[in-house]
Amino acid sequence: MNSLVAYDNFYPGTWFDESRLHPFSIRLDSFERVFDRDSATHYGQALDFTADVTTQEGADGEPQSDELKVNHPLTLGGARVFLVGNGYAPVVTIRDGEGEVAFSGPVISRPDDQVYTSMAVIKAPDAQPEQLGFVGLFLPTAHEAEDGGPAISVDPELYNPQLQLNSYYGDLGLDEGIPQNVYVLDTDSLEVLNSREVDAGGIVLDPGETQELPEGMGSITFEEVQDYIAIDIHYNPAQGGVLVFALIALGGLILSLFLRRRRAWVTVETTEAGRTLVRYGLLSRGEDFRLRDENIALRDQLESRWPVRAPEKED
């Protein structure tokens, strides 16, 4: 897992070297969401998330069972693994117009609100005779609107999961080799198959249901719902050194608060008589009873360099 192709976003440091990535893997076994079911004002608010995962360090490492929670990261290969998000992944199977499976697997849906109304995008570039694309919503607890409008989600739990999609066919643009956002479907150059604005209507599926696509373009089946988690992995090998230097700087700052700063001025000049005249002064910031001792020490140093001699008597 710990390789560049495994990351959605990767932000390397200045001296990053891919060969220094320590191999490890993490697999989600189960995920538990806890929502408020007692409060009248915060009903349905998220209280806790717990991910049971299996981790393995290195290719020959022993798999271990771990628990990953918000603000309780795991440490793998020197890296810190943080739980930063979660959602639902509806599992769908798409068959094309020739009856072949063009896509099958979980689809990551992105939650947009507290009741997990989630955006879902599906692309099937291998479909024949035309490529297929789907975009719509996944609703964990679908509730039909009283005015006949589209259903909405009223709870984040999977009480009545429903998949609502529009379908399109045409060139998805994936064959041109230009990178695309997997969470966005560009429909400008696609033809509509299913939508509330056409006679065929939109696609509305409950788990286990299948709907045929218009014009013999195939079918889509909503199999089940799986959980997924979003994680951040942080690795900063220099943070120990930064901590040491920060502590040294802090120690120097604290030490400076308890040390009295003293200044000394010294001037040296030669008189017309050829003698050396030394003047000096000392200044302390605030009261400092040690200034007298500093004066004596400085005078001793100056006298060792320029000894004091009594003036010669004239005849």
Per-domain boundaries in the chain:
4-234, 260-309
Q: Which residues touch 90 (CB under 8 Å, ≥6 apart)?
A: 106, 107, 109, 120, 138, 161, 163, 222, 223, 224, 225, 226
Per-residue pLDDT reduced to its tens digit, 172-222:
988 887 778 888 999 988 999 999 889 888 999 999 999 999 999 999 999
pLDDT of residue 30: 95
pLDDT band at 7 (very low <50, low <70, confident <90, very high): confident
Q: Are 174 and 122 in contact (CB under 8 A)?
A: no
The pTM assigned to this predicted structure is 0.73
DSSP 241: H
Between CA 180 and CA 184, with CA 183 as vertex, the angle to 5 degrees is: 65
Contact status, residue 193 vs residue 171, Cβ threshold 8 Å: no
pLDDT at 315 over 60: no
Report the pLDDT value the prediction gives residue 33, as an integer from 0 to 100: 94
pLDDT at 294 over 80: yes
In this prediction, residue 292 carries a pLDDT of: 85
Round to the nearest angstrom and report the end-to-end CA distance of the chain: 101
Neighbours of 226 (CB within 10 A): 15
Residue type, 210: T
User: Which tens digits make up the pLDDT trace of 12-31?
Assistant: 777 777 777 778 889 999 99
Q: What is the pLDDT of residue 1?
A: 62
Please state, in angstroms and rounded to a whole number, the distance separating the CA atoms of residues 106 and 126.
17
